[in-house]
A = this chain, B = another copy of it.
Amino acid sequence: MENGRINIGMVGFGTVGTGVARILLEHRELLRARLGAELVLKFVADIDTETDRGIRLDPGVLVSDARAVVDDPEIDIVLELIGGHGIAKELIERSLQNGKHVVTANKALLASQGNELFRLATEKSVELAYEAAVGGCMPIIKTLRESLVGNVVHTMTGILNGTCNYILSQITDEGVTYAAALAEAQKKGYAEADPTLDVEGMDTAHKLAILTALAYGMVINLEDIYLEGISKITPMDIQFADQFGYRIKLLAIGKDRGEAVEARVHPTMIPFDNLLSNVNGSVNAITLTGDAVGDILLKGRGAGMMPTASAVVSDAVDIARSLLTGGGVRIPPLSYLPERIRQRPVLPMDRLETHYYFRFAAVDKPGVLSAIAGILGKRNISLKSVHQKGRKTNGSVPVVMLTHLAREADVRAALREIQALDVVSDETMLIRIEDENDTD
């Protein structure tokens, strides 16, 4: 750090990197007025040094050798905006080894290898900041690490993937199929050409892995998060949900159950009066429930150039403020002191208790309903309501049932048995319900 100048080395000059450069250059004066020092973009490294990103960097700033940037002794803070596991991981490790603070938006890397990266950062007494990794510009990491520091956080319920939320909103509002909604999302740039990571829920799981570690004082554990994507959701299920006062969202759910932690990602029905049900399009939102604060909701754009860049810049400024005032690392990366972080078991899905929506494709014959209900009853799954509407498709009618609290193991066993019935065709649809108003 020179006099009133903090030197930034940015590796990765893609979408987010371009946004960060834009903020640092266009808001240079604003940042000086707030920080009292300049964040100088000393080097930007990218394998592509040719493409015009519409940003005027000083001569010599854009380079191709990222390793040289993170080795430069004059760089105070490295911004890792490449993403993924390969070179990104190497550069973060190398930066930390070199005693440099790092800001990253790389949720996939943190979810799978955050434990060792945070350990290294702590060892080297530097920051590894990651506000941009979860929820884009919603200040979810700061809220958990700082604002809720005096709270036991019981529950987190979030819409953390804009692609999925856009697709589900399209199916809901336009009545189109999943395939049509996905195609539209790809056309608009909300979904990748290969959308698997998003629509199958893995991106959401990455974020939930980070949030559960942070909130529940546990080692990051991606492997044990239950995962179910949105590709099987049909307009018919969305219409049924609507009749029952629910909307379907892909939720990341984390609950501290004491002996274990719930950590699951799946399409979920939530009631209209839950504000998350009104969060539409590519937006993210999360509800955090703490013992002192009750519910807090944060909502904002979860991805995109400028929102993510804003989060990266806020992390860089946070670090700069500590550098400028002579302080060390103020906050442990995962909120708890490293020695207080525990290996905590994730509740196996079989032991989950929740409410369920089932849609069976049943032959329209007498006795079918009672056969299904009989199997459910045998497994202690008690029904709240049964709906049979005569919309016959492929020779079968949809029979919809909503349950009282039931155990997932029982549900799965019952559905296997029901599926084996002659009178049930196609796969049965199962959607879990989160409804706080519904206490049984």
Q: Which residues of A contact B (CB under 8 A)?
A: 19, 23-24, 27, 30-31, 33-36, 131, 137-139, 142-143, 146-152, 217, 275, 278-279, 285, 290-301, 306-307, 309-311, 313-314, 317-318, 321-322, 324-332, 335-337, 340
Contacts and interface: CB of A to CB of B under 8 A. Distances in A.
Contacts of A139: 139, 142-143, 146-147, 296
Contacts of A149: 31, 34-35, 313-314, 317
Contact of A300 (B217, B278, B296): B296
A326 B34 CA distance: 21
A303 to B, nearest CB: 11
Given A151-B310, A152-B30, A295 B300 contact: yes
A298 B151 CA distance: 18
A150 B317 contact: yes
Contacts of A23: 150, 292
B299 A294 contact: no
A331 B332 CA distance: 19
A137 B292 CA distance: 9
28 contacts: A23-B150, A24-B150, A30-B152, A33-B337, A34-B335, A34-B340, A35-B149, A131-B147, A137-B294, A137-B296, A139-B143, A139-B147, A147-B311, A148-B310, A149-B313, A151-B310, A278-B278, A292-B307, A292-B309, A293-B310, A295-B301, A296-B299, A297-B298, A297-B299, A299-B299, A321-B330, A322-B330, A326-B327
Nearest to A313: B150
Contact of A327 (B278, B310, B327, B340): B327
A406 to B, nearest CB: 30
Contact of A150 (B148, B297, B310, B325): B310
